[in-house]
Amino acid sequence: MIDQLCTDPVGAGAAFLIGLFGSAHCLVMCGGITAAFSLSIPEKDRQGIRFWTLMMSASFGRVISYTMLGVLFGLLGGWLRGDHETFIILFRAFAGIVLILMGLWISSVWRGIQVIEQLGDRSITPLVQKLRSKASPDTLGRAFQYGLAWGFLPCGLVYSALLWSASTAHAGQASIQMFLFGLGTLPGILGAGYLSAHVSFALKSRLFRQMSGALVIVYGVWTIAPLVWII
């Protein structure tokens, strides 16, 4: 069963690492959203176990959104592979390029990748904001709904992960990759949500950003490299 779902364990593990090492980006992209979430929680629930259960419920909702998107993109990739193998090659090539650009962004070397997020921000964010505004996170269920909406907010790192998942042409593999990718982003998101000052500062440090960006770039190159043999 597991073999049928996860056809590429290395890719699944890499997805977790991409999410983890991209946490520096998550702190910049989602730090404000996390703060807004925290402030929208009733004041009496902003401390102790209650706060963290609400935060985890929202985080789980976000990861579920990524997983569902992974299923859709995996199915799309499988459909395209059936009759249009060229599209899969293009998906993988584009995913690799976006990963490299994301690595440059995370390393603070070049921030041009923000253009992709800005395009999504214009079309997707208004709809997500409406959905999120109707889910005040004062219960676990509403916090989960908030997280579901959160998962659809524009993010270049998520876009690249989805394109990469589509290139697997396998719904099970794509969903697992996106699930593990989502889990990998949790340290950054929880750090922005007042987890630990030490964790937050470590993820924001210049050295961590440079190391994270370099690893994302390496994986982007690894994603594109097999295409050289095909071409």
Residue 189: CB partners within 8 Å, gap ≥ 6?
A: 23, 26, 30, 34, 59, 62
Alpha-carbon 49 to chain mean position: 26
**Residue 153: closest CA among 54, 34, 39, 42:** 34
Round the CA-based radius of gyration of the chain to a whole number and report it. Answer: 18
Q: Quick one: pLDDT at residue 36?
A: 65
Contacts of 3 (CB under 8 A, 6+ apart): none
- The full set of domain ranges for the chain reads 9-230
Q: How far apart are CA 135 and CA 113, in angstroms?
A: 30
Task: Tell me which residue has tokens 């070397």.
Answer: 109
Give tens-digit pLDDT for 134-178: 556 788 998 898 888 888 877 777 887 888 888 888 899 999 999
pTM for the whole thing? Answer: 0.79
pLDDT digits (tens, 9 = 90+) for 169-198: 889 999 999 999 999 988 777 766 554 333
Report pLDDT digits (tens) over 62-117.
Answer: 999 999 999 999 998 888 876 666 777 887 888 788 778 877 877 778 777 666 66
